[in-house]
A and B are shown apart, each in its own frame.
Chain A
């Protein structure tokens, strides 16, 4: 039973208000109002609240946020809170909405998170391309300093530094982000052996959370874990800023509770496929998630568990809609070109695998491919899965497998 579409707004409440990024307008509309309540609680109480709320990371991974906080607080050292605003997943453009239209919500969330973890230093790692948005964000931070919400004279001292990336999708991967924040090339780190390790920034325990995840914290402080659980599903409570793009009538970002039916969402909120065409497939959560063909979409609900059941992922909830005229070979080539361009090049299967995949797809594009090429493509996908340092190559592997699983016939047509 899918959830109803209720257009519940948790983080996007202020988006439509003119000048919502300015502190006076923000203050009039509830910003910073939850800080006193947060400071009245014990930090561990706040962590328990986040755990009970079932809040899951909104950067694509969906890991339990409360647990992540606990791992950091369990270690000794100078704690850092890093906000992942690298948002480079194709089809994803939701975090920018928060930073552009309600940056004070993000700042409020950061202050609360820092208090809960005993941290006084926070970095916002924002993708370099968002230059104009960075100016808005920095402006809001400067205002917060002026009004003593941040800095030495605040009730709880927090310093926020905006750190601009410079054009690398892989720096959205949390360990690569920290490498980049340390002044290195954005190479992801080897994964720790223990499952309860936090991240490390210059060997100090560090939290890395997505923008939207942090922006949700004030709501949870205000309304409690139960308040958050009122929406969404048992395993995926709350809301997500879903995005729709591609061949859809109303592309954009729309906040909604988890668990609604995907087809209903695309038709009512998305306005249906552009130009009256028929739906062919949807990529559910940004380009790293395996594709879902049209005939399955009516059974998909927008939450993590359901999409796993369809051999796919919810990811960032950025849906890309493809209509009946889209060529799947071209689509896969476009995605593998992206993967090849963005691979950091550190480990062998990803570096060589993404490059080889793109070259093989070129042969499909100019119709010089053979059946052997198709076999090779499948085996390259296998070697990229589960044998690399990070999840970039497994995602590429999932994309290839997904498209070949449902649309292999289009590839066979390209074989001479």
Chain B
């Protein structure tokens, strides 16, 4: 059906929420408490719009579309309402911007620039509450900054069903807290930092590390397990040149991870900064190793991309090396939501490319082999070399126990595809700077 928003006709379906229609059509609609994956709460009152025929302004998050609905978000009356609600949200808000991590991605700042720009007329004291409270699981709470949108409370109540967060007290003394003896403790706890529209919940891991306006982003896929949650990699170039990844943020994917990541995956960005700093061995050295060693075996990490696995397969076929790839199974890791027991990112590609994952055969061939080509698999990174010749193709630092080493680019500095546990093929993109390491596909080209 058709509705009219600010004199523009917009198409929508029966049963759509007005706020969803506006967000999907990139219409500016300020809001705090509504979230696509948490539903409606209707408490912030920031999304009020003027509807023709309605006596009072209505909240867009609780309005269903009707044929020929006429909505205004820019009339004088509704602009004044938005300004007033914003003024009330900011009334007891501490002016912490200079020390608040949220600055630059804070909804209060954004809405103030869009609908505020007024001089404060507050002549009374601000209400004081707790600051810098450690909730556990890397989450820090500042009760004064909180606008009581209850997104975090609804997350722990409805999504993780662990119920650690709640509101204490009432009125303007109401504040978010965890109960004594019951800190925030679930595998998805850090999502509340991302859900929080203001700087009330911040990440201890990211605290005071970097201003967000200096960060660039690239679309990527988390490689922590086979779920393939969509992420944005936030990174920049540090002062003396080498690039640093600062954090992962979730990227909304309706089918796979909605707007959430598990804490393990979220913090797995640290691996991307653990690059191998060794000087690469030469092609001649590798060729010599091939000549010196007759029986060869290759093991590829099941977290490498489709393109990487494909080029390894060609390389191994050409050089008559038996290739294996084993997933990282941890039965204690998986749960009934995002986390899977298979902690490799691309095992379905291994299967589709028909690379062998027969563990028994791998052990048998390994026993008779003299030369091991380890394509970034954890099995050989720090141990298990025994007396064989080990050639490391590695994205991260590893033990000194190798014969030849070829540092390669990790998934932040490479582009490729991974297939997740449900068979969905997804593309991840490299950051701007591409790092110093060569990508594996390029390297194998050179080694031909």
**Cα(A175)–Cα(B109), bound, Å:** 34
B98 interface residue per 8 A CB criterion: no
Q: Which of A123-131, A141-149, A302-310, A339-347 contacts B (4 or more CB under 8 A)?
A: A339-347
B1 interface residue per 8 A CB criterion: no
A345 touches B46 (CB 8 A): no
A344 touches B170 (CB 8 A): yes
**Cα(A376)–Cα(B127), bound, Å:** 18
A348 touches B44 (CB 8 A): yes
**Cα(A333)–Cα(B46), bound, Å:** 28
Given A386-B56, A387-B57, A389-B43, are A351 and B171 also a contact pair (CB < 8 Å)?
Answer: yes
B174 interface residue per 8 A CB criterion: yes
A353 interface residue per 8 A CB criterion: yes
A190 interface residue per 8 A CB criterion: yes
A370 interface residue per 8 A CB criterion: yes
Q: Which of B81-89, B128-136, B191-199, B310-318 contacts A (4 or more CB under 8 A)?
A: B81-89
B171 touches A348 (CB 8 A): no
How many residues of chain B have a CB within 8 Å of chain A?
34
**Cα(A252)–Cα(B282), bound, Å:** 101
Instruction: Provide the residues of chain A in CB contact with B85, threshold 8 Å.
Output: 348-349, 383, 387
Within the complex, the shortest CB–CB distance from A330 to chain B, in Å, comes to 18
Instruction: Provide the residues of chain A in CB contact with B147, threshold 8 Å.
Output: 348
A352 interface residue per 8 A CB criterion: yes
A353 touches B88 (CB 8 A): yes
A416 interface residue per 8 A CB criterion: no
B172 interface residue per 8 A CB criterion: yes
**Cα(A379)–Cα(B85), bound, Å:** 11
Given A190-B62, A345-B148, are A370 and B123 also a contact pair (CB < 8 Å)?
Answer: yes
**Cα(A162)–Cα(B127), bound, Å:** 38
B42 touches A190 (CB 8 A): yes
Q: Which of A57-65, A219-227, A355-363 contacts B (4 or more CB under 8 A)?
A: A355-363
A340 touches B123 (CB 8 A): no
Instruction: Provide the residues of chain A in CB contact with B362, threshold 8 Å.
Output: none
A388 touches B45 (CB 8 A): yes
B46 touches A348 (CB 8 A): yes
A349 touches B124 (CB 8 A): no
Instruction: Provide the residues of chain B in CB contact with A168, threshold 8 Å.
Output: 170
A347 touches B167 (CB 8 A): no
Chain B, 115-163, CB within 8 A of any chain A CB: 121-125, 127, 147-148
Say which size band chain A's interface belongs to: 35 or more
Chain B, 36-85, CB within 8 A of any chain A CB: 40, 42-46, 48, 55-57, 62, 64, 81, 84-85
Within the complex, the shortest CB–CB distance from A354 to chain B, in Å, comes to 7
Kindly identify which residue among A193, A342, A362 contacts B124, using a CB–CB cutoff of 8 Å: A362
Instruction: Provide the residues of chain B in CB contact with A197, threshold 8 Å.
Output: none
Instruction: Provide the residues of chain A in CB contact with B267, threshold 8 Å.
Output: none
B42 touches A352 (CB 8 A): no
B172 touches A363 (CB 8 A): no
A195 interface residue per 8 A CB criterion: no
B92 interface residue per 8 A CB criterion: yes
A185 interface residue per 8 A CB criterion: yes
B12 interface residue per 8 A CB criterion: no
A345 touches B170 (CB 8 A): yes
Instruction: Provide the residues of chain B in CB contact with A341, threshold 8 Å.
Output: 171
Given A348-B88, A383-B85, are A340 and B171 also a contact pair (CB < 8 Å)?
Answer: yes
Q: Which residue of B lies closest to A346 (CB)?
A: B43
B91 interface residue per 8 A CB criterion: yes
**Cα(A260)–Cα(B79), bound, Å:** 45
**Cα(A394)–Cα(B333), bound, Å:** 52
Q: Which residue of B lies closest to A341 (CB)?
A: B171
Instruction: Provide the residues of chain B in CB contact with A298, threshold 8 Å.
Output: none
Kindly identify which residue among B42, B55, B172 contacts A351, using a CB–CB cutoff of 8 Å: B172
Q: Which residue of B lies closest to A352 (CB)?
A: B88
Within the complex, the shortest CB–CB distance from B81 to chain A, in Å, comes to 7
Kindly identify which residue among A351, A370, A382 contacts B174, using a CB–CB cutoff of 8 Å: A351
A355 touches B43 (CB 8 A): no
A264 interface residue per 8 A CB criterion: no
**Cα(A363)–Cα(B147), bound, Å:** 26
Within the complex, the shortest CB–CB distance from B82 to chain A, in Å, comes to 11
A352 touches B56 (CB 8 A): no
B42 touches A389 (CB 8 A): yes
Given A345-B172, A387-B45, are A372 and B91 also a contact pair (CB < 8 Å)?
Answer: no
Given A185-B167, A383-B84, are A356 and B174 also a contact pair (CB < 8 Å)?
Answer: no
A373 interface residue per 8 A CB criterion: yes
Instruction: Provide the residues of chain B in CB contact with A355, threshold 8 Å.
Output: 92, 127, 171-172
A352 touches B92 (CB 8 A): yes
Q: Which residue of A lies closest to B124 (CB)?
A: A359
Kindly identify which residue among A351, A353, A363, A372 contacts B121, using a CB–CB cutoff of 8 Å: A372
Within the complex, the shortest CB–CB distance from B61 to chain A, in Å, comes to 9
Q: Which residue of B lies closest to A394 (CB)?
A: B56
B45 touches A345 (CB 8 A): no
**Cα(A345)–Cα(B48), bound, Å:** 19
Q: Which residue of A lies closest to B40 (CB)?
A: A190
Q: Which residue of B lies closest to A344 (CB)?
A: B170
B42 touches A347 (CB 8 A): yes
Instruction: Provide the residues of chain A in CB contact with B56, threshold 8 Å.
Output: 386-387
**Cα(A340)–Cα(B84), bound, Å:** 19
B171 touches A347 (CB 8 A): no
Q: Which residue of B lies closest to A372 (CB)?
A: B121
Instruction: Provide the residues of chain B in CB contact with A370, threshold 8 Å.
Output: 123
Kindly identify which residue among A190, A344, A359 contacts B125, using a CB–CB cutoff of 8 Å: A359
Q: Which of A348, A373, A383 has the most CB of B within 10 A?
A: A348
Instruction: Provide the residues of chain B in CB contact with A372, threshold 8 Å.
Output: 121, 123
Q: Which residue of A lies closest to B63 (CB)?
A: A193
**Cα(A190)–Cα(B17), bound, Å:** 15
B123 touches A373 (CB 8 A): yes
Instruction: Provide the residues of chain A in CB contact with B46, threshold 8 Å.
Output: 348
Within the complex, the shortest CB–CB distance from B152 to chain A, in Å, comes to 15
Given A190-B62, A345-B148, are A360 and B88 also a contact pair (CB < 8 Å)?
Answer: no
What 0/1 readout, one digit per residue, does chain B (373-392) give for beta carbons within 8 Å of chain A?
00000000000000000000
B88 touches A387 (CB 8 A): no
**Cα(A360)–Cα(B55), bound, Å:** 30
B171 touches A344 (CB 8 A): yes
Instruction: Provide the residues of chain A in CB contact with B42, threshold 8 Å.
Output: 190, 347, 389
A379 touches B43 (CB 8 A): no
B170 touches A360 (CB 8 A): no
Chain A, 46-77, CB within 8 A of any chain B CB: none
Q: Which residue of A lies closest to B169 (CB)?
A: A345
Given A347-B43, A348-B89, are A387 and B124 also a contact pair (CB < 8 Å)?
Answer: no
**Cα(A168)–Cα(B170), bound, Å:** 10
**Cα(A359)–Cα(B124), bound, Å:** 6
A352 touches B121 (CB 8 A): no
**Cα(A168)–Cα(B123), bound, Å:** 29
**Cα(A58)–Cα(B85), bound, Å:** 33
**Cα(A347)–Cα(B122), bound, Å:** 20
Instruction: Provide the residues of chain B in CB contact with A349, threshold 8 Å.
Output: 45, 84-85, 88
Instruction: Provide the residues of chain A in CB contact with B88, threshold 8 Å.
Output: 348-349, 352-353, 356, 383
Instruction: Provide the residues of chain A in CB contact with B172, threshold 8 Å.
Output: 340, 343, 345, 351-352, 354-355
**Cα(A383)–Cα(B167), bound, Å:** 24
Interface residues, chain A, CB within 8 Å of chain B? 168, 185, 190, 193, 340-349, 351-356, 359-360, 362-363, 370, 372-373, 376, 379, 382-383, 386-389
Please name 10 pairs of A and B residues whose Cβ atoms are closer than 8 Å in the assembled complex, sorted by A.
A345-B172, A348-B89, A349-B88, A353-B88, A363-B124, A372-B123, A383-B81, A386-B55, A386-B57, A389-B42
**What would 7 more interface pairs be, CB under 8 Å, given A340-B171, A342-B171, A376-B123?**
A190-B40, A343-B171, A345-B172, A348-B85, A352-B172, A359-B125, A370-B123
A-B residue pairs, 3 tightest by C-beta: A359-B124, A345-B174, A355-B172
